[in-house]
């Protein structure tokens, strides 16, 4: 197999998004569209990946620098067309010998499997698709199995406009051929741009083989507006739902369950309606996530029950059989096997021992306004309802905390801690008080 490289175009302004966030950093399935494109390039085994960015979006540049390094950035300024954009990557690909695929930072649903067929034929290859509405797409003019030319809609005759086989924009050729041909592309056309698509006719004129490989229209969809972003998200979710169902995840209302790009759910897990998975969620076989829960950056092991109406945040690790009930928020806490927090609690930064029971309304007071502190609860401990545990604090194994306590110092294993006002009872006081007040009210009439 010859070496592979990818050039990802991301220099467009994305003005139609009407958003301060650069277009390619908008997310699909909780992951920036640009990262989806980079994921595909990596999965294809590309040895070099170059992202073409504009000077107008330093955030995109910083994003690429962080993920791939400075050497993967090429700047195109000003943007003079797709052919010009690819030429901007030439220097970054200096010395690369092999095939270069051109993909896009705003095409989030295109996976490595869809792109792979463009490689290895020796021909210049383009990914085409059958468009429901060909609109402004470039048309693929075929002569049998040969791709004769790509004609941009603005330049097309009525006859060519009637073609429904369109250009996805993805193209692959050897680096030497690609950059050689791009050197010949001019901008004498309706938009005054350097069209990447012109390399097809130029290749043919040299007798180089040119061909199209087809992909599904949904896979090649580009995102230009918030409406299209929402459509891409819906398509992404649909695929996730089907994939999880096929794998053996139970969902009674899959259309109401939302996944992230990296959600891991084992076969045999049950996901009830209206559950949202943020990035980094992992649910093991035999766990149940009940309705209206939000799970992000959390691990839920076998036999656990979460929700309804629970929130698991990053660092929540629920070991076998742990239970988190309604209106409980768990962040950066390991709940060991069989630990329970069934109602109305905030558990942040700490560990809860196996089989410990956390009463309704318990709060881990983890933040002093400057630093975060840990709460450690031993195995089999019992924390009564409405307890504030002011961290850092440790409750020993098998210890008990009386309800309504504000615990500021450690409780040793097996001890009982009570930290609340002592109850006072005044015999008959209420009855006497009420009688006096009723009489007063009656006098006033």
DSSP state of 5: E
Tell me the helix, strand and coil percentages in the chain, rounded to 5: 25, 30, 45
Residues 275-294 that bind ligand UD1 (CB under 6 A): none
Question: Of the listed pieces 76-84, 89-97, 331-339, 354-362, which binds ligand UD1 according to CB under 6 A?
Answer: 76-84
> Pick from 65, 80, 337, 390: which binds ligand UD1 (CB under 6 A)?
80
Based on the shown chain and the rule CB under 6 A, indicate whether residue 11 belongs to the binding site for ligand UD1. Answer: yes
> Pick from 5, 7, 50, 106: which binds ligand UD1 (CB under 6 A)?
106
Based on the shown chain and the rule CB under 6 A, indicate whether residue 57 belongs to the binding site for ligand UD1. Answer: no
Q: Is 127 exposed, middle or buried (0-12, 13-18, 19+ CB in 10 A)?
A: buried
Check: CB of residue 12 under 8 Å from CB of residue 224: no
Q: Taking the complex as a whole, how short is the minimal distance between the CB of residue 92 and ligand UD1, in angstroms?
A: 14
Only one residue has tokens 């979710």, namely: 237
> Pick from 8, 9, 44, 177: which binds ligand UD1 (CB under 6 A)?
9
Based on the shown chain and the rule CB under 6 A, indicate whether residue 12 belongs to the binding site for ligand UD1. Answer: yes
Query: What whole-number distance in Å separates Cα of residue 55 and Cα of residue 339?
Result: 53
Only one residue has tokens 């928020």, namely: 329
Question: Of the listed pieces 115-123, 165-173, 351-359, 433-441, which binds ligand UD1 according to CB under 6 A?
Answer: 165-173
Pick 168 or 345: Cβ nearer ligand UD1: 168
Based on the shown chain and the rule CB under 6 A, indicate whether residue 299 belongs to the binding site for ligand UD1. Answer: no
Number of residues that bind ligand UD1 (CB under 6 A): 26
- Phi, psi at residue 410, to the nearest 5°? -60, 150
Q: Taking the complex as a whole, how short is the minimal distance between the CB of residue 12 and ligand UD1, in angstroms?
A: 2
Give CA angle at 285 (280, 290), nearest 5°: 70
Q: How far is CA 299 from CA 197, 263, 302, in A?
A: 47, 11, 10
Based on the shown chain and the rule CB under 6 A, indicate whether residue 100 belongs to the binding site for ligand UD1. Answer: no
* 111: annotated active-site residue: no
Query: What whole-number distance in Å separates Cα of residue 318 and Cα of residue 332?
Result: 10
Q: Taking the complex as a whole, how short is the minimal distance between the CB of residue 10 and ligand UD1, in angstroms?
A: 6
Tokens linked to 24: 């390619």
Indicate which residues carry an active-site annotation: 343
Q: Which residues make up the interface to ligand UD1 (CB under 6 A)?
A: 9-12, 52, 76, 79-82, 84-85, 104, 106, 137-138, 150, 152, 166-169, 195-197, 222
């Amino acid at each position: 197999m010859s070496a592979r490289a990818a050039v990802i175009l991301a220099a467009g302004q994305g003005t139609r998004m009407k958003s301060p966030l650069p277009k390619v950093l908008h997310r699909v399935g909780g992951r920036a569209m640009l990262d989806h494109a980079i994921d595909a390039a990596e999965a294809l085994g590309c040895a070099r990946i170059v992202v073409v960015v504009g000077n107008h979006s330093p955030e995109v540049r910083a994003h690429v620098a962080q993920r791939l390094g400075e050497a993967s950035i090429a700047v195109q300024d000003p943007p003079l067309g797709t052919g010009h954009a690819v030429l901007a990557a030439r220097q970054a690909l200096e010395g690369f010998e092999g095939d270069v695929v051109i993909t896009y930072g705003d095409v989030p649903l295109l996976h490595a499997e869809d792109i792979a067929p463009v490689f290895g034929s020796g021909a210049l290859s383009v990914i085409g698709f059958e468009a429901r509405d060909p609109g402004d797409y470039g048309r693929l003019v075929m002569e049998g199995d040969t791709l004769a030319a790509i004609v941009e809609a603005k330049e097309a005759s009525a006859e060519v406009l009637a073609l429904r086989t369109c250009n996805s924009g993805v193209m692959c050729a050897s680096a030497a051929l690609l950059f050689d041909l791009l050197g010949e592309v001019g901008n004498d056309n309706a938009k005054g741009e350097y069209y990447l698509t012109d390399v097809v006719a130029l290749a043919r004129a040299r007798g180089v083989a040119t061909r199209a490989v087809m992909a599904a229209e949904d896979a090649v969809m580009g995102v230009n507006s918030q409406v299209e972003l929402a459509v891409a998200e819906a398509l992404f979710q649909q695929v996730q739902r089907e994939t999880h169902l096929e794998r053996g995840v139970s969902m009674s209302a899959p259309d109401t369950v939302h996944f992230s790009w990296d959600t891991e759910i084992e076969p045999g897990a049950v996901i009830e309606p209206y559950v949202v998975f943020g990035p980094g969620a992992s649910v093991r076989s035999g766990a149940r996530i009940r309705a209206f829960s939000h799970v992000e950056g959390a691990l839920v092991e076998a036999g656990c029950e979460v929700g309804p109406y629970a929130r698991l945040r990053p660092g929540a690790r629920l070991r076998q059989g742990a239970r988190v009930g309604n209106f409980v928020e768990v962040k950066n806490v390991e709940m060991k096997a069989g630990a329970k927090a069934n109602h109305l609690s905030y558990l942040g930064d700490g560990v809860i021992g196996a089989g410990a029971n956390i009463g309704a309304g318990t709060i881990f007071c983890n933040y002093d306004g400057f630093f975060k502190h840990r709460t450690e609860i031993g195995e089999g401990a019992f924390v009564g309802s409405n307890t504030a545990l002011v961290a850092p604090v440790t409750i020993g194994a098998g210890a008990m905390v009386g309800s309504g306590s504000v615990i500021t110092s450690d409780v040793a294993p097996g001890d009982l801690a009570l930290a609340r006002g002592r109850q006072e009872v005044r015999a008959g006081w209420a009855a006497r008080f009420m009688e006096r007040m009723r009489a007063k009210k009656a006098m006033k009439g």
